[in-house]
């Protein structure tokens, strides 16, 4: 590489890092200024000690786990079947899984409210449990593009058809093939999808707010509107959660036997 190109590369990298880190540094710095004149973790202590933070964060974590389970149960068999028996359907399935990226969450939630309100044939919004289920399915839809792509990429790394036939010739049925052969071999991909889903659900505002559920997203918004320093501490915490998820994706990829086999 010639020196000018190298210099340009470095300049682009430095610009990108500054673009990303300067606002973030401001955010972190301001979150530490709750006590006048000195840096302190007061804002963080206040946020973490807030019972509402614990309740909403706990609720969102639970909803994220439920969403991941539903997502895995829907996406893994679908992606497996499309790859194995219906490769012609792949473009259609990909298109459907991409729809949540172009249809805003607010449209989805208004659709839900219209379809499942208390005077509808399936009044899911009439009970707390029904609304929770609706919210989990809504989150599943929002996470679908990420989960499907992650799982599909994972399936691409293994010879799905031959492994399936090998398992069948040894007497395995579909449940065994999915549970003992396919899922463990795409576990890294599923975990990647799961961590992305977790990050999406933890910060999601629209669905939770409009379905009136006590989730972390609406809590973030409420605190942001009413408190000076705590919202910045919460924003840093949210960043931390997302980065932790990304780090975990890297970690499970590195420690995967299957991935090592590819190298």
Partner 1 sequence: MAFLEISHLEKSFGANRVVKDFNLDVDKGEFISLLGPSGCGKTTVLRMVAGFENPSSGAIRIGGTDLVGKRPNQRNIGMVFQAYALFPNLTVAENVGFGLKIKGAPRAEIDRRVAEMLALIGLPDLGGRYPFQLSGGQQQRVALARALAPKPQVLLLDEPLSALDAKVRVSLRNEIRAIQRELGITTIFVTHDQEEALSISDRIVVMNGGIADQVGTPFEIYNRPSTRFVAHFVGQLNVFSTDGAGNLAGVQLGAGRDFAARPEALHLGRAPGTDIVLPARISEVHFLGSVIRLTADAAGARVSLDTFNRPDVPPPAIGTDVELSLSSRDLIPLG
| CB nearer partner 1, residue 46 or residue 258 | 258
Give the nearer residue to partner 1 in terms of CB position, either 226 or 262.
Answer: 262
C-beta of 136 vs 158, nearer to partner 1: 158
CB of 261: closest distance to partner 1 in angstroms? 3
Minimum separation from the CB atom of position 184 to partner 1 (A): 4
Beta carbon nearer to partner 1, 242 or 256: 256
Choose between 89 and 163: whose C-beta lies nearer to partner 1. 163
Q: In the complex, what is the shortest distance from the CB of residue 167 to partner 1, in angstroms, rounded to a whole number?
A: 7
Residue 4 backbone zone (phi > 0: left; psi -120 to 50: alpha; other: beta)? alpha
Between CA 167 and CA 176, with CA 170 as vertex, the angle to 5 degrees is 50
CA distance 28 to 242: 16
Shortest separation between residue 255's beta carbon and partner 1, angstroms: 13
Q: Rounded distance, CA 135 to CA 248, Å?
A: 25
Pick 181 or 241: Cβ nearer partner 1: 181
The full 3-state SS of the chain, as one line of letters, equals CCHHHHHHHHHHHHHHHHHHHHHHHHHHHHHCCCCCCCCCCHHHHHHHHCHHHHHHHHHHHHHHHHHHHHHHHHHHHHHHHHHHCCHHHHHHHHHHHHHHHHCCHHHHHHHHHHHHCCCCCCCHHHCHHHHHHHHHHHHHHHHHHHHHHHHHHHHHCCCHHHHHHHHHHCCCCHHHHHHHHHHHHCHHHHHHHHHHHHHHHHHCCHHHHHCCCCCHHHHHHHHHHHCCCHHHHHHHHHHHHHHHHHHHHHHHHHCCHHHHHHC
Q: How far is the CB of 182 from partner 1 (least distance, A)?
A: 10
User: Shortest distance, CB of residue 90 to partner 1, whole angstroms?
Assistant: 20
For residues 159 and 212, which CB has a smaller minimum distance to partner 1 in the complex?
159
To partner 1, the closest distance from the beta carbon of 77 in angstroms equals: 18
Task: Please give the residue ranges that form the binding site for partner 1 (CB under 8 A).
Answer: 158-159, 162-163, 165-173, 176, 181, 184-185, 187, 257-258, 260-261
């Amino acid at each position: 590489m010639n020196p000018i190109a190298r210099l340009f590369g470095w300049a682009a990298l430095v610009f990108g890092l500054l673009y990303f880190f300067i606002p973030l540094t401001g955010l972190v710095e301001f979150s530490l200024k709750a006590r006048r004149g000195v840096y302190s973790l007061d804002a963080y202590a206040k946020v973490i000690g807030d019972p509402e933070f614990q309740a909403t964060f706990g609720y969102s974590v639970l909803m994220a786990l439920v969403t991941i389970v539903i997502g895995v149960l829907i996406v893994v068999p679908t992606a497996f079947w499309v790859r194995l028996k219906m490769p012609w359907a792949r473009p259609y399935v990909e298109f459907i899984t991409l729809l949540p990226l172009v249809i805003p969450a607010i449209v989805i939630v208004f659709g839900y409210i219209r379809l499942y309100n208390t005077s509808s044939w399936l009044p899911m919004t009439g009970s707390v449990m029904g609304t929770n289920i609706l919210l989990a399915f809504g989150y599943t839809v929002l996470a679908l593009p990420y989960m499907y792509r992650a799982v599909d990429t994972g399936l691409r790394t293994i010879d799905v058809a031959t492994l399936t036939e090998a398992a069948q010739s040894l007497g395995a049925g579909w449940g065994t093939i999915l549970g003992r052969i396919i899922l463990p071999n795409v576990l890294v991909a599923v975990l990647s999808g799961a961590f992305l889903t977790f990050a999406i659900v933890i910060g999601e505002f629209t669905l939770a707010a409009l379905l009136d559920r006590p989730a972390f997203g609406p809590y973030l918004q409420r605190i942001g509107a009413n408190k000076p320093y705590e919202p910045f501490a919460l924003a840093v915490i949210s960043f931390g959660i997302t980065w932790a998820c990304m780090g975990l994706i890297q970690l499970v990829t590195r420690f995967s036997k299957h991935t090592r086999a590819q190298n």
